[in-house]
Amino acid sequence: MKLVLLLATIGLALTVEAQAQPLGGLAQIAVIDRATGVALSPHYYRGEYWIAGRPGAKYSIEIHNRLGERLLAVTSVDGVNVLSGETAAWDQAGYVFAPGERYQVTGWRKSDAEVAAFTFTESPNSYAERTGRPANVGVIGIALYRERQPQAWTSPRLSEEAPTNRLAPPAAPAAQADAAPLAITPRAEPAPKLGTGHGEREYSYVNHTEFARLQPQPNEVIRIRYDSLDNLLAMGVIRRDRPAAVNPFPAAPMPGYVPDPPGWGGVP
């Protein structure tokens, strides 16, 4: 079944010198602090990857297709599809990447030309909680699909068969039973959780294309949880080891001047 999906435009792809190890197999995924251009370091804790977000900072989700074929990335933030605003499910719309393409998803898509920037904020101000969906705040999900019938990379105009809005139809009726939101189990936190706000409007152009998924379920799902540094320290996700105690005067005063070290022969 052919689908009309949003296409990440190659000309707007952004590159970055990532300082952290990207996650993923079919595609490399990194969360980028847009103020510094640096990838946030993932911390592995009890079977999950966590990153520390900085409240008030804008961020982007960088996706780098590692394959020699097109790849579909259905992307969610806080359990919400970043293209449609629907409660996220695998069979929804996503970005289509050309072979080897790298692109930064910078916000909630508002149209073919604009997004509302992703911004780390306290959970009550997050888009998900403000729209009555607080259960999955603090998680980023990318469901990756390979293409069933590879085709030449083009940027076609919308045809008469294509919907006039930006939403994609479901992948296939058979996929409905398998589709599920990318969810996490809520847990108590020592301070308000960090979520993703609906930030200022920014220019971000996309096109439409068709994509047939190889299978109903994703070929790979990448999940990254996030919270503030203080909360991750309190939960033990990040350990700040206490330095050993040091003493600037550990022994009684020695008379005279500085002695030579052992084996010193006086040669400068």
Give the model confidence (pLDDT) of 118-127 as tens digits. 999 999 999 9
Write down the pLDDT at residue 246: 64
Angle at 174 between CA 169 and CA 176, to 5 degrees: 65
> What is the layout of strands, in order, in the sheet containing 194-203?
107-109, 114-122, 194-203
Q: For residue 100, give the DSSP letter.
A: T
Residue 23: pLDDT above 90? no
In angstroms, rounded to a whole number, what is the distance separating the alpha carbons of residues 58 and 200? 10
Q: How far is CA 62 from CA 34, 140, 193, in A?
A: 11, 12, 23
Over range 35-45, report the average pLDDT.
93
Q: What integer pLDDT is reported at residue 239 of this predicted model?
A: 83
Q: What is the DSSP letter of 208?
A: E
Give 19 or 268, the one with higher predicted confidence: 268
Classify residue 259 as exposed, middle or buried by CB count within 10 Å of its CB (0-12, 13-18, 19+). exposed
Helix, strand or coil for residue 236?
A: coil
Helices first, then strands: H and E counts in the chain = 2, 16
Most confident of 20-24, 103-107, 177-181: 103-107
97-140: pLDDT as tens digits: 999 999 999 999 999 999 999 999 999 999 999 999 999 999 99
Q: Which of 94, 81, 103, 80 is nearest to 147 (CA)?
A: 94
Average pLDDT for 213-233 = 93
Distance CA 31, CA 140 (A): 9
Q: What is the mean pLDDT of residues 29-57?
A: 94
Q: Is the pLDDT of residue 268 over 60?
A: no
